[in-house]
Amino acid sequence: MTDSKYPGLLERFIKYAKVETRSDDQSKTVPSSPKETAFLKQLATELTELGLENVRIHPQNSYLLATIPANIDRPVPVMGLLAHVDTADFNAENVNPQVVEDYDGQSDIPLGDSGYKLTIDEFPSLKKYAGQTLVTTDGTTLLGADDKAGVAEIITLAAYLKEHPEIKHGQIQIGLGPDEEIGTGADHFDVKDFGADFAYTIDGGPLGELEDETFNAAQAEIDIQGKDVHTGTAKDTMVNAIQVGIDLQNQLPVHDRPEKTADREGFYHLYKFDGTVDHARLVYLIRDHDKKLFEARKEALRAIVRDLNANLGEDRISLNLYDQYYNLKDALKGHEDVVELAKKAMEDLGIKPDIYPVRGGTDGSTISYLGLPTPNLFAGGENMHSRFEYVSVQTMEKAVDVLLKMIALNAEE
C-alpha cells in the first residue's frame, strides 16, 4: 500500500472507514450513537499523541476540539478546520475498503464478491482518475469518505505540521463533530469556545469543489390516523391512511422531486412512507436555494394538509414541519474574503475551483449562521452515501496541499 506524499494518510482513512459510526435520526442523545462517542475518544487519543494542545470533547455538543499553536510571533487570524465523524443512512457495518492502485481509467471495477461494479457507463467520473489509486467499497456497505476523508486529511495535516516546524503558521483550531448526516450535529456548536476567526468544513466531493451556497432545508413529518374497518362494510366508514398519504403526495408538483430537478431547482423529497390502513407516516425533505421559494414550498404543504383535513371532516393529518438549515450564501455576505482565500490557494496549486450552488448542506451552513463564516472544501468522495462510493488517494493528498497553501497564505504579511 503506497502512501508516500503524506505518510499515514491512506492508512488513517482506511482505519477510520472501518469504524461503524452511522448516526441515528431517532435518537435524542448527543451524539445520536454511542459508536460516535467511542470513535471521537479514539481520535482524541490520536490527537494527544500527535502533540496537539487543549484536546477535549465539548460537554454539550460532543465536538472533539484541539489546537495547533501558532509558531510565528505576529498576530494572524485563527483558522478553523472542521469535519464530521458520522456516516449516512446506508449499511455501515463491516466496511471493508478495497484499494485499486494505478487505475486505468477505462475498466469497470468489481466491488468485492458482491456482484456490484463501478461501471464506466454508469459512473463516467471514473475516467478522470486514470493512473490514480482509488479506494472503493466491497459492494455491501458505504465507504464513509463522507466525511472520514475529511477527518483523515485534517489529522494528516496536523501530523505534517508537527513534523515540519519550518512551515510558519498561525493558530489552527480543529473540530471533529457528530451527527452531520442527520442535520443536528452543528446545532449546539460553540463558536466562542472554538476560538476561530473563520473556518472551513472539509466535507465536499471531487477535486476543486468550493461551496459557498447551499439549500435552505426543512423536514416535514406527517402522521395520518386512519379508521380500519372490515372491507365488507367499509363504504363511507373506512379511512385508509395509506390512501390519504398517496392523495397527499399526488397533490405535490410531479416535477418537484430530486430525480427530476437540477442546478437551482428545489424539490420535495418523500424519503420515508410507512403505514397500514389504521396509521401512516410520511417524511419529506423540502429544499430550495431561494428563501422566498423555500417559504412558499412549506406553505404549500401546509395548505395541502389543511385541505385534506377539511375534506375528511376532521383533523386526521398532523404535520410537524421544522427548518434544518439555511443557505450558506446569505450568511457569508461580508465574508467573501474567506472564500477568496480558498480560491487563491487552489489556483496557486493549479487546481480549478469549482464554485456552484451545492444541492445539499453542510455543518458550515449552521455554523455560519451562528457567526463563524464557514464555506466547504472538497474532501474527495464520489457517489457518497452508497455502495458505489469511492475516493482517490491523490485527491485526498491535494486536499491536504490546499489546506497547507491556505495556512501559508493566511500567515503572509
Please tell me the pTM assigned to this model: 0.90
Residue 134 lies in a domain: yes
Q: How many domains does the structure of the chain reveal? A: 2
CA angle 371, 377, 379 (to 5 degrees): 135
Is the CB of residue 86 less than 8 Å from the CB of residue 20? no
- Residue 360 is predicted with a pLDDT of 86
Residues 258 and 281 in one domain: yes
Residues 282 and 206 in one domain: no
Q: What is the CATH number of the domain that holds 130?
A: 3.40.630.10
- In the numeric block, the cell 494528516 is attached to 156
Residues 13 and 124 in one domain: yes
- For the stretch 73-76, contacts whose Cβ atoms lie closer than 8 Å and that sit 24 or more positions apart, written own/partner, are 74/413, 75/170, 76/169, 76/170, 76/171, 76/410, 76/411
Residue 2 lies in a domain: no
Tell me how crowded residue 148 is: count the other CB atoms within 10 A of its CB: 29
SS3 203: strand
Q: Where is the domain boundary, 325, 354, 387?
A: 325
Residues 175 and 198 in one domain: yes
Tell me how crowded residue 252 is: count the other CB atoms within 10 A of its CB: 17
Is the CB of residue 266 less than 8 Å from the CB of residue 215? yes
Of 139, 69, 73, nearest to 110 by C-alpha is: 139
Residue 36 lies in a domain: yes
Residues 343 and 303 in one domain: no
Residue 1 lies in a domain: no
Residues 345 and 295 in one domain: no
- Residue 185 is predicted with a pLDDT of 92
- Residue 356 is predicted with a pLDDT of 87
Residues 80 and 109 in one domain: yes
Q: What is the CATH number of the domain that holds 306?
A: 3.30.70.360
CA–CA separation, 200 vs 207, rounded Å?
Answer: 16
Its domain, for residue 403, covers: 9-213+327-411
Residue 55 lies in a domain: yes
Residue 181 lies in a domain: yes
Residues 32 and 138 in one domain: yes
Amino acid sitting at position 219? Q
Residue 282 lies in a domain: yes
pLDDT tens digits in sequence order for the chain, 413 residues long: 555 689 999 999 999 999 999 999 899 999 999 999 999 999 999 999 999 999 999 999 999 999 999 999 999 999 999 999 999 999 999 999 999 999 999 999 999 999 999 999 999 999 999 999 999 999 999 999 999 999 999 999 999 999 999 999 999 999 999 999 998 999 999 999 999 999 999 999 999 999 999 999 999 999 999 999 999 999 999 999 999 999 999 999 999 999 999 999 999 999 999 999 999 999 999 999 999 999 999 999 999 999 999 999 999 999 999 999 999 999 999 999 999 999 999 999 999 999 988 898 889 999 999 999 999 999 999 999 999 999 999 999 999 999 999 999 999 97
- Residue 38 is predicted with a pLDDT of 97
Backbone angles phi, psi at 157, to 5 degrees: -60, -45
Q: Where is the domain boundary, 296, 325, 354?
A: 325
Residues 39 and 130 in one domain: yes
pLDDT, tens digit, for every residue of 304-358?
A: 999 999 999 999 999 999 999 999 999 999 999 999 999 999 999 999 999 988 8
Residues 253 and 282 in one domain: yes
Please indicate whether residue 89 is annotated as part of the active site. Answer: no
Residue 3 lies in a domain: no
Residues 89 and 62 in one domain: yes
- Residue 5 is predicted with a pLDDT of 87
Peptide bond into 75 cis (omega under 30): no
- Residue 331 is predicted with a pLDDT of 94
Q: Where is the domain boundary, 263, 295, 325?
A: 325
CA–CA separation, 14 vs 177, rounded Å?
Answer: 19
- For the stretch 292-297, contacts whose Cβ atoms lie closer than 8 Å and that sit 24 or more positions apart, written own/partner, are 293/266, 294/216, 294/218, 294/266, 297/218, 297/256, 297/266, 297/268
- Residue 4 is predicted with a pLDDT of 67
Question: How far is CA 163 from each of CA 160, 166, 239, rounded to the nearest angstrom?
Answer: 5, 9, 68
Residues 368 and 220 in one domain: no
Q: Kindly name the residue from 179, 180, 203, 382 that is annotated as catalytic.
A: 180
Please indicate whether residue 86 is annotated as part of the active site. Answer: yes
Q: Kindly name the residue from 86, 203, 288, 397 that is annotated as catalytic.
A: 86
